[in-house]
Structure 1
């Protein structure tokens, strides 16, 4: 279990180092477009967080109920998130969480699913995560919409999902004058740092081909089209990081 924070306030080299000294090992920050500069992650901040020894969790949120906009909103937000991720140097294969920052009920689940699937279509280099309540995490996990799950205690009514990779367990606290929320993570967070991005090591072609063969065998045994699409996407990630062209479905 790893301790971390999320905050809207951009971190400086000094504040990142102070948080690391308190034992926090990751910081969740916002991929958002121009116009949201008050909370927008920049490359310089990402480097400061990395230099302090912390990992970065990327989250996209412009409005609390944005996911209720369904596929149309998802396509727009996915494209924006992808552009911001490239701008800050987020490496391929890490995750972008999309926020469902309200008490969504069953009547919104189809819209949220459509939003997330549309966003995923716009970020082929990245894994997709969702931030939301227990019910949202449970529903999106069962629908196999995402590969990463960040649960907030808000609207969760005391329940914690076993699917959660990150759990936001306390909100609205202040540490060294920084307003933040506190989190714990349990593995497979999809986080990243600028050292990994800067190294840009390519996977050996022979190793990549071996991994693709394994994925192709898994694809053949997959029972749903959603699983097949995800396996195909992963195979293209392997091809891409080994310098090979992607293959269309």
Structure 2
């Protein structure tokens, strides 16, 4: 994967990968993140140690999540934002057990609510079906023209040149696709109504000045996950009944 530019409703946002232990200068830095946000851009992060890193199982997933979160927070990512982890190959059903274990490991650090997967149609679908992820970023590669409806992001084209750099084109299919930065901060800080539920885990809903419904969770240890809009087109809430 390369630097990717996404477009939805005429708004441009920059999507950057967070490559794990890379030493060639591809890692997102705090200075670059500040520059992107100052330019009015939002950022989404995806970790990739190697194309087949998700076959490493639970221990690899947990370690990668710890390192990804440490790097992301150092770059200024709010603590409640999700991180995607790459399954950057044509994964088979026989490899899904190891992949599921990898995402269980990642979720042991981040929580399932902050864990996302990048990959083709089939492994992403299987991860959603197994309840291993909340966020999906699907590539058209290895997908046979099919799109998983639960994904928030779609990679629709590779090999695009932007300012001399090799880029991928992605499309956002949800108001919240894990982004943080200039626009996200502006939307999420404008609250005009609020209500909540107590207990060992507090959940709070709020209506922003933009009309979107936002949600935040405080864990039993008192740490808030961070505001994010409920899923749905352009911030509209989507509610499912059993």
Question: Which category of TM-score, normalised to the shorter sequence, fits these structures?
Answer: 0.7 to 0.9
Paired residue secondary structure (1:120): helix
Stretch moving more, 72-81 or 27-36: 27-36
Query: Equivalent residue of 1:240, what SS?
Result: coil
Partners of 2:113 and 2:73 in 1: how far apart? 10
* Unmatched 5+ stretches in structure 1: 1-5, 10-15, 218-232, 243-249
1:156–1:196 CA distance, 2 compared to 1 (3 A): closer
The 4+ residue runs of structure 1 with deviation greater than 4 A are 194-198, 213-217
User: What is aligned with 2:224?
Assistant: 241
- Greater fraction of residues in helix: 1
The answer for the alignment partner of 1:7 in structure 2 is 2
Task: For residue 45 of structure 1, give the secondary structure of its aligned residue in structure 2.
Answer: helix
Residues 88-146 of structure 1, C-alpha deviation per residue, up to 9 Å, x if partnerless? Answer: 11002211000000000101111111101101212359711100101011111111111
Tell me: CA distance 1:181–1:192, structure 2 relative to 1, closer, same or farther (3 Å): same
* Number of aligned residues: 209
Q: Tell me the equivalent position of 2:152.
A: 165
Indicate the RMSD between aligned Cα atoms, in angstroms.
3.6
1:154 alignment counterpart: 141
Paired residue for 2:197?
211
Distance 2:133 2:168 in 1: 23
Aligned-partner SS, 1:144: coil
Q: Distance in 2 between matches of 1:31 and 1:140?
A: 21
Residue 180 of structure 2 aligns with which residue? 192
The answer for the alignment partner of 2:39 in structure 1 is 52
Between the aligned partners of 2:113 and 2:71, the Cα distance in structure 1 is 12
Match of 2:99 in 1: 112
C-alpha change, 1:157 and 1:195, in structure 2 (3 Å) is closer
Deviates further, 104-113 or 33-42: 33-42
TM-score normalised per structure 1: 0.72
Contact kept, 8 Å, 1:165 with 1:185, in 2: the verdict is yes
